[in-house]
Amino acid sequence: MWSLLQESVINILMYKILLFSFVFLVLDQLSKWFVVFYLELEQKLYLSLNNQFMNFYMAWNKGINFGLFEGDSAIQAYILTGISIAISIVFFIWLRNSTSFLTQILASLVIGGALGNAIDRLLYGAVADFINVTCCGFRNPYSFNLADVFIFIGLIGLLVFMSDEKQN
């Protein structure tokens, strides 16, 4: 009876991570569709948000963060997609038994973000980046997307809060 109850709890935890990952994936894909296609950033390449801090600059990233390892190869896009999927599976397996709601959300951010960028690579051969943060007259040449924000917040949060859990 106890093992059946434990198994039910684990299944619920797994489904929560999958559900939250799906929500973050959908948010990422909707934001890309809205900005890139509905607001036509793909054609305009730049949209001013009338502020000094953030604007939309279109960038198709065929590499990894900040355009590292950028290439035009379809094989590279498939390899990077495979890596994103593998990382998502590893995070899911690693954290599927976590009972911490915060850890589940943070893992889901990483998984949803990684899969969101993987979908871009499969659909377009590159990741749609469009958020550009600038400050003080300095133009930042790099753009990013909501999936990148999710991955960053998820990883930093896991590093901070997982080390706190180990100390307690």
Cα 133 from Cα 144, distance rounded (Å): 9
Cα 28 from Cα 71, distance rounded (Å): 24
Cα 40 from Cα 33, distance rounded (Å): 9
Whether 148 is a known active-site residue: answer yes
SS3 162: helix
Annotated active-site residue in 28, 120, 148, 164: 148
Whether 72 is a known active-site residue: answer no
Annotated active-site residue in 28, 72, 120, 129: 129
- Residue located via tokens 């300095």: 138
Question: Residues 6 or more apart from 18 whose CB is under 8 A from it?
Answer: 92
Would you please indicate which residues are annotated as catalytic (active-site) residues?
A: 129, 148
